[in-house]
Amino acid sequence: MSSKEVYLDSCKTSRLAPEVLDAMMPYLTEKYWYPGSFTSIGTEIAEVIEEAQETVARSMNAKPEEITFTSGGTDANNIAIQGILQANRERGRHFICSNVSHPSVLAVFQGMEKQGFEGTYISANKDGYLNLDELKAAIRPDTILAAFTHVNHILGTIQDVKAIRNILDQADHKIYLFMDSCEAYTKIPLDVEELGIDSLSISVHKFNGPKGMGILYVKKGTEIVPTQFGITRLYKLKPGAINVPGIVGTAKAVEIAFTNFDQNTRSLRELQKLLYDEIMKRIPDAVLNGPPLEERSPAHLNVTFRYIEGEAIMMMLDFNKIHVETGSACSSKDLRPNYILMNTGRTHEESHGSVRFTLDRFVTKEDIPKTVDALEKTAKELRRRSPLGKKEQ
């Protein structure tokens, strides 16, 4: 992508960091070998993979053997959710999820419902926080798994994982806790021990790593069965070919994210605040969706521009080489407004005019005024065309 482009959609996918590509390159070219024992080439690769597992494990206070590299976040979700449900089906068939979970997680549960499992979907409040009283009420003697999205991909809401864990622990039987941490990882501190997470999934291309890579954490002692079968060279849960360059790239992306983690997240926070302040200062009738800035992920901002529609805003920005996402029904593949916004009490109109901005290390301070300049012009022009809000303006 040319440096003139402003990319504010890293929650969808992000740019591969050049250092990551450099780290991967030898493993795509001259070091194309597989891990193995006794031989020089086999042991070299085996050690590289071990190091990668250690790097990832350290970043979340896990043990290296609790880390499995997968082919993406969806893959990790499927392995964990299906594997835990199937392994524990003698204890029960009930799981708890929420109606503000990521669609990739909801899709796994919809599949499991067709296989005889039963779900309770708890709701969230207007800022996207799960209603924990509903969680308490949802627990049944046959509940075996609770699974939630750690940081909401639309609103940036950070769930209180410790509080969720405490509620699950009040049950007189084991309820596993799975977190889809794709938007949390590298954006907020994540300690699996401290939070009491049994399993989590991470998507690597969301933090400047390679596409087609995921990280699965499964706490030692978790009852889980494999759901994929093949040659298990490295992991019992993930058979098949080993993506060595992907693993190396993942480790590098993790290393970059966690070197100066505090400074990195502080920089994101500054950009987020700058973007928000500039929008609010310069564009009338802009409404923040989700919790106050300081409570949410530093990489997320979601704003509704009243009286105008999100796909039109997104396209106008695109003409200016600025890339964002919208929750508008016009932009969805089934003409439905974004369900996260609707399930957190926004109206169709509010969802229709919503724009999501997500940040990463490649967003610069200079990108912010450029974005808000374009947004201001866009809002003015689209409002000139709109029949709505004339009296208020």
Partner 1 sequence: MAIKYSELVIEHFKNPHNVGTIDKPDASATEGSPACGDQLTVYLKVNSETQIIEDIKFQSYGCASNIATASIITDLAMGRNIEAAKQITWKQAADELGGLPPIKMHCSVLAVDALRSAIKNWEHKHLGKEIDDSLNKKNIVKELQKVIYGQVGVDIVSLKLLKYIGVDEKNNVLLELAIKKDDPFLDDVKNEINERMEKFPKIASVKISLV
Which residues are annotated as catalytic? Answer: 330
CA distance 117 to 95: 7
Closest CA to 9 of 374, 357, 367: 357
The rounded distance, in Å, linking the Cα atoms of 50 and 72 is 19
C-alpha span between 179 and 159 (Å, rounded): 10
Burial label, 333 (beta-carbon count in 10 A; 0-12, 13-18, 19+) = exposed
Least distance between partner 1 and beta carbon 330 (Å): 4
Distance in Å, CB of 337 to partner 1, minimum = 9
Q: How many of the other CB atoms lie within 10 Å of CB of 176? A: 25
| Residue among 267 and 343 whose Cβ is closer to partner 1 | 343
Q: Which is nearer to partner 1, 60 or 324 (CB)?
A: 324
Of 217 and 305, the one with the shorter C-beta distance to partner 1 is: 305
Strands 199-203 and 214-218: antiparallel
State the residues that interact with partner 1 by CB under 8 A: 307-309, 311-312, 315, 319, 328-331, 333-336, 347-349, 352, 384-388
CB of 82 to partner 1, least distance (A): 21
Structural contact between residues 76 and 227, judged by C-beta atoms closer than 8 angstroms: no
Which phi and psi (to 5°) does residue 369 adopt? -60, -35
Phi and psi (nearest 5°) for 138? Answer: -80, -20
The whole-angstrom separation of Cα 24 and Cα 139 is 45
Q: Which is nearer to partner 1, 114 or 220 (CB)?
A: 114
Neighbour count for residue 20 (Cβ, 10 Å)? 24
Closer to partner 1 by Cβ: residue 215 or 283: 283
CA angle 22, 28, 31 (to 5 degrees): 100
- Smallest gap, in angstroms, from Cβ of residue 228 to partner 1? 26
CB of 282 to partner 1, least distance (A): 21
Shortest Å distance, C-beta 145 to partner 1: 24
CA distances from 62 to 59, 148, 284, 297, 298 (A): 8, 19, 46, 22, 24
Cβ nearer to partner 1, comparing 162 with 336: 336
Q: Which 3 state secondary structure label does DSSP give 56?
A: helix
Distance between CA atoms of residues 156 and 299, nearest Å: 8
